[in-house]
Amino acid sequence: MPWRLTAKQALAELTRGALSARDLVAASLARVEAHDGALRSFVTTCPERALAEAEASDARVRAGSARRPLEGLPFAVKDVTDTEGVRTTYGSLPFRDHVPARDELCVARLRAAGAILIGKTNTPEFGFGPRSFNRIQGSTANPHDLALSAGGSSGGSAAAVAAGLVPIAQGTDFGGSVRTPAAFCGVVGLRPTPGLIPSASKALAWNALSTHGVIARDADDAALALSVMAGFDRRDPLSRPGPVEFEGTVGDLRIGASPDLGAAPVSGEVRRRFQSALDDIAKCFARVEWASPDCAGGREAFAALRGAMVRRQFRALVAEHRAELTPQLLWNFDRGEALSADDLLAAEEARSRIHASFMGFFDHHDALVIPSASVMPFSNDQEEVLEIDGEALASRIDYLAITFLISLVGLPSISVPYWGDGALPFGLQIVAPPWREDLLLALARRLEREQGFAHRWPAGLARE
């Protein structure tokens, strides 16, 4: 069954001639056909184009051309990211028929490496919302329990990878949009240092809150996809020249651990699962201690910066199409309306102070481990996360604090699945200093191989 192969395994089978690109793409499309009616992980698929590209890939290999790094590998792209010639709706009714003229840079790099686009994965409107719901496709279900949410906002990508519809998928992460769905669906979700995966199309070129990311079933596949998407581009001022290396191993590390960063609301069940995960981490690493940077004021700072950015980006759309837009997008937009210049500078001041605290933390620790989500997967009918364990949240985005506090200071992080004694996955978030994706991936590999922090096939979807 080709759909069960990891990306690296599939590429090895292609190289030795046991599979063709057409075989692999056809298996992926068949898996979509069989299961996506229930999952709703895709908004748009492009089967004819994908099969044609697979046949062209097979033909160029037969003709003696060198294999590209991802030659013949199926992949998916979140429906907020532009794809040339393939409908890209952004999860928004005004864009229901929108077809971009060019690929976003990270997509162009994946395709240039030989990967074959299967389709566009589901997302809340412009990526704003706790579940991957929009008025075009509906809500993406969790492959481990179809009554539950796959999370937001890269939930379509996470569900598609978890269920074997594609081996790798692109996502985007502003406040936790790669890491939360990865946690809910039991896959690996990597948010890199802003600029590692460059963007040539950002209206706010110095925006370090949002970045492209990777979703895969294991750390090796995440590294493989990242190696193709990453690399310098002078159009992105955050992009970093120099070689990109994601291989390696780790020995003993100094690990700091916190269930909440001293500032994030987190459920009792998440705290229990986190403690269980720490017990298993301690079997690999002797130096694990409770420790956290000082994140006081971070929730308010992130909310102010996010509100200002959303208002600036969507002011024309809201003016023309407000009645067609979702409450989640409008709430974020309206938050930006009342902000002053002093509010923004105060947020930047708090951000600077928190960043300094993180850098001081990394003087004494190699990595930080925290939960990847504040709650466990919730009902797929639930529109918002407004309370945790009966306690009302101060803001409708505060359920994301455990991830957006990391976004706020521009650090790389990875979510890896942990099971313990539960039927649902729990996401462990590992945070490293800037540009240390190699450390994150090496640590994830070790936990995966030695302690079983790894993808499991969803019950009922493991066989055709």
Going by pLDDT thresholds of 50, 70 and 90, the confidence category of residue 4 is very high
* Strands of the 116-121 sheet, one edge to the other: 42-45, 116-121, 74-78, 168-173, 211-216, 188-191, 413-418, 426-431, 367-371, 254-257, 287-290
Pairing of strands 74-78, 168-173: parallel
Tokens of 53: 């590209």
What is the tens place of the pLDDT at every residue in 208-263? 999 999 999 999 999 999 999 999 999 999 999 988 889 888 989 999 999 999 99
pLDDT, mean of residues 323-352:
96
Going by pLDDT thresholds of 50, 70 and 90, the confidence category of residue 464 is low
**Most distant CA atoms of the chain, gap in Å:** 64
Q: Which H helix or E strand runs over 303?
A: helix 298-321
In whole angstroms, what is the distance from residue 447 CA to residue 431 CA? 14
DSSP codes, 395-454? STTGGGHHHHHHHHTT--EEEEEE-TT-SS-EEEEEE-STT-HHHHHHHHHHHHHHH---
Q: How many CB atoms are located within 10 Å of the residue 268 CB?
A: 9
pLDDT at 322: 97
Active site residues: 78, 153, 177
pLDDT, mean of residues 259-280:
98
Q: Which position has the token pair 């908004």?
A: 43
pLDDT at 247: 84
Q: What is the CA radius of gyration of the chain?
A: 21
Assign domain 2-297+341-451 to a CATH class.
Answer: alpha beta
Pairing of strands 426-431, 413-418: antiparallel
Contact between 372 and 402 (Cβ < 8 Å): yes
pLDDT, mean of residues 35-52:
98
Closest CA to 332 of 318, 311, 317, 301: 311
Q: Is the dihedral of CA 381, 384, 387, 392 positive or negative?
A: negative
Average predicted confidence (pLDDT) for the chain: 97
Judged against a pLDDT cut of 90, whether residue 438 lies above it is answered with yes
Going by pLDDT thresholds of 50, 70 and 90, the confidence category of residue 463 is low
pLDDT at 460: 78
3-state secondary structure of 127: helix
What is the tens place of the pLDDT at every residue in 138-173? 999 999 999 999 999 999 999 999 999 999 999 999
Pairing of strands 367-371, 254-257: parallel
Percent of the chain with pLDDT over 70: 99
Judged against a pLDDT cut of 80, whether residue 462 lies above it is answered with no
Q: Which H helix or E strand runs over 56?
A: helix 47-62
pLDDT at 243: 81
pLDDT, mean of residues 296-310:
97
pLDDT at 461: 82
pLDDT at 422: 87
pLDDT, mean of residues 18-35:
98
pLDDT, mean of residues 364-386:
98
